Amino acid sequence: VISRVGDRLRVRRGGTTLQMPAWVEPALRTVLTGPTRLGALPGGLDAPSRVVLARRLVREGMIVVRGAA
Whole-number Cα distances in Å, 63 to 15, 27, 39, 46:
13, 13, 16, 20
Give residue 68's pLDDT.
Answer: 63
Give residue 25's pLDDT.
Answer: 95
Give residue 48's pLDDT.
Answer: 95
Question: Residue 61 is which amino acid?
Answer: G
- Give the pLDDT confidence of 9-64 residue by residue, as tens digits: 999 988 889 999 999 999 999 999 989 999 999 999 999 999 999 999 999 989 99
Which residues, 6 or more positions from 52, have their beta carbon under 8 angstroms from its beta carbon? Answer: none
At residue 69 the predicted structure's pLDDT band, cuts being 50, 70 and 90, is: low
Would you give the end-to-end CA distance of the chain in angstroms?
A: 29
